Amino acid sequence: MSEFQRNMSLTGEPPKSLTAGQKIFTAVGLFGLAVLILANFNVNFPNKTLWLTIALGSIVGGIIGFAWATYSGTSAGIKNDGVMFKSITSRGLWAWVAILAFSGFYVLLYFYPELLGLVSDGDNTGVIALFDPLSKFISGSPASQWFVYGTLYTIAIVSFGIKFIWKYRHNSYEVIRTCSVMFFQTAFAFIIPEIMTSLNQPYYDFKNIWPLNYDLFAGYKIDEFLGAGNFGVAMLIFGVASIFVITPILTYKYGKRWYCSWVCGCGGLAETAGDSFRQLSNKKQYAWNIERWVIHSVVVFAVVMTTAVVYSFLKGNESASSIGSWNDFSHKVVFIGAQDQKPMHEVVLAAQEAGAARVVYLDRSESSDPIQLESTEGINIPFNVVKEENNAQGIKQINEQKQATLLPMDRSQEDIFIEKGTESVIYDNVWLSKEFFVWGVIGLLTLGFVLVFVFKREQLAKDAKIGAIGYFVIVVGLLLFTYLDESKQLFLFESWRLNQVYGFLIGAVFSGVIGTGFYPIFGNRVWCRFGCPMAAILGFQQRMFSRFRITTNGGQCISCGNCSTYCEMGIDVRAYAQKGENIVRSSCVGCGICSAVCPRGVLKLENGPLEGRINSQSVLLGQDPDLMALLSSNKNS
């Protein structure tokens, strides 16, 4: 690297390397990480509670100490000194080391949790075992890889959040919204769901809204909600209301920032742990084009997948097909209410892999011959078929975890005795006709489409129009095609496979491995910008129908470019500021950093009337007179 030219600088050498204090606290944090890594290599820590406390305490202490060593004793104000010179924040060697480490962790987490020590039928080992005491303390059960992840995620948001608050202490908007994301992550994403699980309620992160929470309407989840009584039904209603009622109201009033920068966990991590990488977002025009196409395609994928999943669920047969390794059936009895295209032996095998103790098929047909498994290869848990009408009382008792006996249709089999306390899940529920649902989806899409084209036509760019028409025709065409077709599946694919593909590509690879693992290369909001379907829906509404805008006092702008440099969504804020034009962009998450780093106070995040919000024609020059108006009035006089 070339040497810094001191004689060209007014301020002296930028801080390329760490100070002694920063080095000490980096070492403290790395010590905590080293304990976790050693635990994963099964180094025996005799007192797990103590060593987990030491490890997590060191990580938190290291991050907060680093912030103290960096910002204490300095005056409040913009603090990005040396960010373009440090290897980790300017795509240098350390950036690549970091992405290897982050992405590697995500790959293990999503695809090889056993290498982190997850044991489904025994005591955990490795790093997951180190977290067992904390998990047992909060929810009463041993840790899973998701508990470890949730703990580290929360710690990252809280400790880097403190660093962030210190850095941006001159800006109260940044301070308050960071406290908000820290609170929502700790309470809503981490503690409340764990406590609910310990109370035998469905796991639910209330702030994780569909389509971000893409499994919310999956058959197994709906079964879980409906099986949890009134509280479960209330959760399901809240899930529907949060996307169709709460989200539109709040986005209308405050723009997408209420969610992306104040509530969401992905946004929370990006803003806090990812703050040092915000300047790496691509500002080029082609990135903007890619962003629009990719993110809207993800929305279409999410809508298609969810429609297919719910449609199949309403046939009473999606649920069984959706059984997979993501279920936790440890020692549970799995009841199957209806058969799908997926062969029954595959369903039983999937349930067995998820830990089920037994699978019971509830026969509702007139036939007296029980269905047979197509193959028994690999199946080593009991599979029975019972007539539902003859066993209604027993099934009810099992649901209530009471002792019960069921009578198999095949009388050569022994009666099925289920012990008291045995947990069960039922994969079957029909409470809304599939026809009503399909036409509801078509009606909703049509309504949205017509409203936008009637009232907001002029605000749609040409390519957005073509994209909207294309997507609309595809989604509705497929719906009608399949609806008028007698085949049992929607969208030519089996819904459980769509759900699996979506979960793998979008839920794991995009949001986890690339979205977070690649912060040091693509910037901190790569997932929010290119992949998050929730951000796309909020962005569409923000552009079309919201009171939010960033106003610019163009006459004050000195074109320093700070705002564009640190806009994590790659928006060329300066271009708007130079023209005095309001910024109304779908992708703007309202983080307010452009405003926080502007040395001239040009930018202001505001909510106001819809009229005049998008003022692309106007050229405002701060306190200067309106020269155009002056010119034309002079001409007329």
Q: Which residues bind ligand SF4 (CB under 6 A)?
A: 557-563, 567-569, 571, 573-574, 577, 583, 588-594, 598-600, 602-603
Which pair of structure tokens corresponds to residue 555? 């006459």
Structure tokens given for 242: 């949060």
Tell me the angle at which helices 20-40 and 48-71 cross, rounded to the nearest 10 degrees: 160
Instruction: Using CB atoms within 10 Å of the CB of residue 343, give its burial: 0 to 12 exposed, 13 to 18 middle, 19+ buried.
Output: middle
Smallest distance from the beta carbon of 481 to ligand SF4, in angstroms? 40
Q: Which is nearer to ligand SF4, 612 or 622 (CB)?
A: 622
Comparing CB distances to ligand SF4, the nearer of 33 and 544 is: 544
How far apart CA 194 and CA 185 sit, in angstroms, is: 13
Least distance (Å) from ligand SF4 to the CB of residue 378?
51
Residue 387 beta carbon to ligand SF4: minimum distance, rounded to whole angstroms:
60
For ligand SF4, the closer of residues 463 and 606 by Cβ is: 606
Give Cβ neighbours of residue 167 (< 8 Å, ≥ 6 apart): 67, 70, 71, 79, 275
Cβ atoms of 192 and 186 within 8 Å: the answer is: no
Backbone dihedral angles phi then psi of residue 204, each to the nearest 5 degrees: -150, 120
Least Cα distance to 490 among 309, 345, 236 occurs for: 309
For the bound state, the minimum distance from the C-beta of residue 160 to ligand SF4, rounded and expressed in Å, comes to 17
CB of 257 to ligand SF4, least distance (A): 7
* Closer Cβ to ligand SF4, 228 or 591, answer by number: 591
Q: Are 225 and 514 in contact (CB under 8 A)?
A: no
Report which DSSP code applies to 333. Answer: E
Smaller CB distance to ligand SF4: residue 218 or 557?
557
Distance CA 305, CA 499 (A): 6
The residue among 147 and 566 lying less far from ligand SF4, judged by its C-beta, is 566
Phi, psi of 416 (to 5 degrees): -95, 115
Q: In the bound complex, what is the minimum distance in angstroms from residue 606's beta carbon to ligand SF4?
A: 11
Q: For residue 334, which amino acid is it?
A: V
387 vs 574, beta carbon nearer ligand SF4: 574
Rounded to a whole number of angstroms, the minimum distance from the CB of residue 4 to ligand SF4 is 23
Is residue 525 within 8 A of residue 281, CB to CB? The reply is: yes
Cβ nearer to ligand SF4, comparing 40 with 171: 171
Contact criterion met (CB below 8 Å) for 427 and 337 = yes
Least CB distance to ligand SF4 at residue 255 (A): 9
Instruction: Find the DSSP H helices in 408-506.
Output: 434-455, 462-484, 495-502
To the nearest whole angstrom, how small is the minimum distance from the Cβ of residue 102 to ligand SF4? 23
Report the SS3 class of residue 144.
coil
Cα 583 to chain center, whole Å?
26
Look up tokens 């004689």; give the residue. 7
Q: Based on CB atoms, which residue is closest to ligand SF4, 134 or 593?
A: 593
Give the residue with the Cβ less far from ligand SF4, 280 or 577: 577
Kindly state the smallest distance separating residue 522's Cβ from ligand SF4, in Å: 15
DSSP state of 583: B
Q: In a 3-state reduction of DSSP, which class is residue 109?
A: helix
Cα 430 to Cα 499: distance, rounded to the nearest angstrom: 20
Report DSSP state, residue 512.
Answer: I
User: Minimum distance from CB of 554 to ligand SF4 (Å)?
Assistant: 8
Amino acid letter, residue 65: G
User: How far out from the chain centre does Cα 429 lie?
Assistant: 27
Residue 592 CB, shortest distance to ligand SF4, in Å, is 5
Q: In terms of CB distance, is 558 or 610 closer to ligand SF4?
A: 558
Q: Give 167 or 574: the residue with its C-beta nearer to ligand SF4.
A: 574
Reported for 46-53, long-range contacts at CB under 8 A and 24+ positions apart, including other chains, are 48/129, 48/130, 48/132, 48/133, 49/133, 49/134, 51/130, 52/130, 52/131, 52/133, 52/134
Please give the Cα distance from 207 to 268 (Å, whole number). Answer: 12
- Shortest distance, CB of residue 576 to ligand SF4, whole angstroms? 8
Q: Choose between 118 and 567: whose C-beta lies nearer to ligand SF4.
A: 567
CA geometry: angle at 378 spanning 376 and 379, to 5°? 60
User: How far apart are alpha carbons 219 and 340 in whole angstroms?
Assistant: 13
| 415 touches 405 (CB < 8 A) | yes
Half-sphere exposure of 471 (CA within 13 A, CB side): 22
Closest CB 590 distance from ligand SF4, rounded Å: 5
Nearer to ligand SF4, 207 or 257 (CB): 257
SS3 589: coil
Report in angstroms how near the CB of residue 279 gets to ligand SF4 at its nearest. 11
- For the chain, what is the total number of helices (H) and then of strands (E)? 27, 8
Full DSSP string of 544-557: HS-SEEEEE-GGG-
Which one, 533 or 590, has the nearer CB to ligand SF4?
A: 590
Q: At what angle do helices 219-227 and 229-241 cross, to 10 degrees?
A: 130
